[in-house]
A and B are shown apart, each in its own frame.
Chain A
Amino acid sequence: MLTDFPITGKKATRDGFGDGLLMAGQQNKNVVALCADLLGSLKMNAFVKAFPERFVQVGIAEANMMGIAAGLSIAGKIPYTGTFANFSTGRVYDQIRQSIAYSHKNVKICASHAGLTLGEDGATHQILEDIGLMKMLPGMTVINPCDYNQTKAATIAIAEHYGPVYLRFGRPSWPIFMPENLPFEIGKGILMNEGSDVTIIATGHLVAYAMEAVKKLNDEGISAELINIHTIKPLDEEIVLDSVSKTRCVVTAEEHQRNGGLGDSIAQLLSRKLPTPQEYVAVNDSFGESGVPEMLLAKYGLTSENITMAVEGVLKRREVMHF
């Protein structure tokens, strides 16, 4: 239940990446890291200090970085590339597609500052399409952890998984609520709260807001089930279908475009196996803008209030549709 996930502190998910990368490097000598002039932002300095010979600075040349990473992986290295999510995906899509995904290279594309919560730098840097871009690539694993602990655990876990991975995390300090030593299982969703009226499926920063929403709904007498989906691809179909077959309605929440994100993955699953009323909490076909992260999330409709409103909406639809 939600009480198993108390908030224990606050740290950025990118700090989880930096600390996880250092640990992955300590555990596996094949782990190497590359960065495109954003060491501080990606929190990679501890790894560089510990393993200077296993670090490649590529400068502001992300396309070259993806190719070098693919080349390093051929001999058995496990390269982690680090830059902002925008430059990790859209800028280098063809390099990832040909040299990494199609060539099935064991490269870990680690992307910080994803989504609106990048904040003041504005829409040029706030990519909201990256999950869609990456999940369309055959063989690509797409992971979007929710807090410091989960990001750290994911960073360590992906070293043991052979194949290309897109690991997405963010800039702002954010509540920590996942247990510190919870093993990270790629492709396994986490049931954070059992409920019977509605299923809320959230990923990334929006899991924290979904937890708030579950508490508010509970106060209103609505029993919400909460699933934390850190791996968007491959999707844990079982945990979704088990829950939705019970609640018969679903709300998805993510810091991403409605098109191509977690919500679309859920909708695609349900349309094939269990048609269900669904509401999206996501950015609706729009670019972001400069501002304080929390204010941006509010302006673009990604708050706990938006989740509770979506729940109320989907409950009504379920009633009307006699699901």
Chain B
Amino acid sequence: MADIQDLKKISSQVRRDIVRMVHQCQSGHPGGSLGCTDFMVALYFHFLRYRLPFSMEGHGEDMFFLSNGHISPVWYSVLARSGFFQTNELGTFRRINSRLQGHPTTHEGLPGIRVASGSLGQGLSVAIGAALAKRLDGDQNMIYVLTGDGELEEGQVWEAIMSAAHYKLDNIIVTVDWNGQQIDGPTNEVMSLGDLEAKWKSFGWKVLQMDGNVIEDVLSTLEEAKEQTGKKQPIVILMKTVMGYGVDFMMQGHHWHGIAPNDEQLSKALSQLEETLGDY
């Protein structure tokens, strides 16, 4: 079992990285990044089996795909803190000549990234392709995917959901960041998602739920999901999160989806997040 205190410390540092990165360039998406921090830390610091230096092909290791690419700050921070690249590179986020583009890309050769994402709805399809390749190669490792909930409004996602069940893909664990918020407001006002659990189930998926901001729940649910693999059924975790989690004034609705804190707000945010591993 992972040391929960260690994971909490890493999460605190990752949240500091996120608000500092977004503040530095005055651009980016802190809300979803903060909400998904505990999940991303649990994934990279406990579950994901990866090798360094990074290899694109990923033979004999797990792969992670971020479909909602706009929460790149949390991914970049976790990748840097996991050793994929130097943490001081986080300071180049969204600036010219950086490998840390606004949305993740392979184009600049940043280790840890296997496909560009940002235009929503595409990541699950790509992950299914990667899962099919692992099956073809007899590679027993896992494919993990994170998507947004608003992203489920894209039709391609449902094409992908239908196909994964059809292929009986059982080496893939999808997590939906179910924060109920999107740019224009609460998801149930912009476009109702309806009964998400029933929808995924009716498409043939095993559905689990967890509180994505309670690290113990994240660990036990991901563990359960792993135990459910290999049973000819894809697995989805509907992960309840709070957008902006960890910074009190960012935890109010969708306001902090895609705006940057000013100097004063940064100070206030950092005062709520302990520096545990050293700022970049």
Contact = CB atoms under 8 A, between A and B. Distances in A.
Given A95-B122, A99-B116, A102-B116, A71 B163 contact: no
B155 interface: yes
Contacts of B114: 74, 103
A67 B125 contact: yes
Contact of A68 (B63, B126, B139): B126
B159 A103 contact: no
Nearest to B118: A98
B122 to A, nearest CB: 5
Contacts, number: 117
Given A64-B163, A67-B126, A75-B57, A103 B136 contact: no
A179 B275 CA distance: 70
Interface in B173-205: none
A5 B79 CA distance: 58
A63 B136 contact: no
B5 to A, nearest CB: 35
Interface string A44-88: 000000000110101101011111111111111101000000000
A56 B155 contact: no
A71 B116 CA distance: 11
B156 A71 contact: no
B64 to A, nearest CB: 12
B131 interface: yes
B67 to A, nearest CB: 10
B105 interface: yes
B124 interface: yes
A103 B106 contact: yes
Given A71-B125, A102-B107, A61 B163 contact: yes
Contacts of A102: 105-107, 116
A105 interface: yes
Contact of A99 (B58, B126, B134): B126
Interface of B: 56-59, 63, 105-107, 114-119, 121-134, 136-137, 139, 155-156, 159-160, 162-163, 166-167
Given A63-B159, A71-B115, A103-B106, 14 more contacts: A59-B162, A59-B163, A63-B155, A67-B128, A67-B156, A68-B125, A68-B160, A71-B127, A71-B131, A72-B129, A75-B58, A75-B133, A99-B122, A105-B115
20 contacts: A32-B136, A59-B159, A61-B159, A63-B156, A64-B156, A67-B129, A68-B132, A68-B160, A69-B129, A70-B125, A70-B126, A71-B131, A71-B133, A72-B129, A72-B133, A75-B130, A95-B122, A99-B116, A102-B106, A103-B105
